[in-house]
Amino acid sequence: MAQLTFREAISRGIAQEMRRDETVLAIGEDIGAAGGVFKGTVGLFEEFGPLRVRDTPISEQAILGAAMGAAMTGLKPIAEIMFSDFFAVCWDIVVNEIAKSRYMTNGQVTFPLVIRSGNGGGLRFGAQHSQSVENWAMMVPGLKVVVPSNALDVIGLMAAAVRDPDPVIFLEAKALYASKMDVPDGDIVDTLGTAKLLRQGSDATLVALGAMVPKALKAAEELATAGINCTVVDVRSLVPLDTATILREVSATGRLFTVEENPRLCGWGGELSSIVSEEIFYDLDGPIVRITTPHIPLPAADALEDMAIPSVQRIVSTVSESMSA
């Protein structure tokens, strides 16, 4: 057992898969000797060398073009796009090439690649470096989308993503890079498409993703002192989505609150709300409530950014007011 930060878990997860399979390689800006801008690839260059840990020019199109070509020829690249905002620069390759080519070749060509990226706000990087883009990715047929919330899940879900035959978008909440937890020794392998039940309650279900998961857990603790006992579900995987777990827990409490960092319009909670309404409408005891970032560019000023992104206090107050209405 070792205590790892979220960023250390990224290195461990990638190294685990590179040791297991020599076709796995890492590619991206400054991921080599520098260990990554967010220090998520520390030690990989020293262990695996420049052929398997490749620094690139500052060109997202070049990174993903090379990763796509490598995957087509039998390698398993893990490509880093430093900030998820920069998907906008190379979105054509992701959406029109990587996501669709297996379908368009009738399975003759597969794309076993992982695209990992720092996602979301909380670090005062401003509107062009703080976007939470999971809703961009989940709408694209052919992509799988994973968003871990802790170091243990980083390692296990990275292993599952690397071993998957399809392209996986692996979004790392930048606000969680320094968070720590105890992680068992040895290989860790998880399963895509599985949500995780973190807390059991009887009054309401909080469904959260990424950096919002620890906030939802903290809010549930505060709500419990006021007599409101909440279940907390970590979504972890948006595509595939573990609807069975989520529907079961919402049905048990009769109330659903989504906690989302993404802007409200077209966020993942809207899709989840639709599924819940269609599948278990008559199990609900009140309206579905979404706790989100407003539909605005994220401010850089600390007070304004804190106001925009869902906080523990906003979760507590929203749930309390809704439950007492």
DSSP one-letter string for 282-315 = GG-SS--EEEEE-SSPPPSSHHHHHHHS--HHHH
Cα–Cα distance, 26 to 19 (Å, whole number)? 12
Q: Is 295 a catalytic residue?
A: no
Could you count the other beta carbons within 10 Å of the beta carbon of residue 71? Answer: 24
User: Which two tokens mark 298?
Assistant: 């994220």
What is the distance of C-alpha 134 from the center of its chain?
A: 7
C-alpha angle 190/242/233, rounded to 5°? Answer: 85
Tokens at 60, concatenated: 């997202």
Alpha carbon distance 143, 127 (integer Å): 25
Q: How far is CA 215 from the centre of its chain?
A: 15
Per the DSSP assignment, residues forming a β-bridge with 259 are 208, 291
Catalytic one of 129, 196, 215, 290 = 129
**324 secondary structure, DSSP code:** H
CB 236 within 8 A of CB 196: yes
C-alpha neighbours within 13 Å on the C-beta side of residue 117: 27
Radius of gyration of the chain (CA): 19
150, two tokens: 């802790």
Catalytic residues: 129
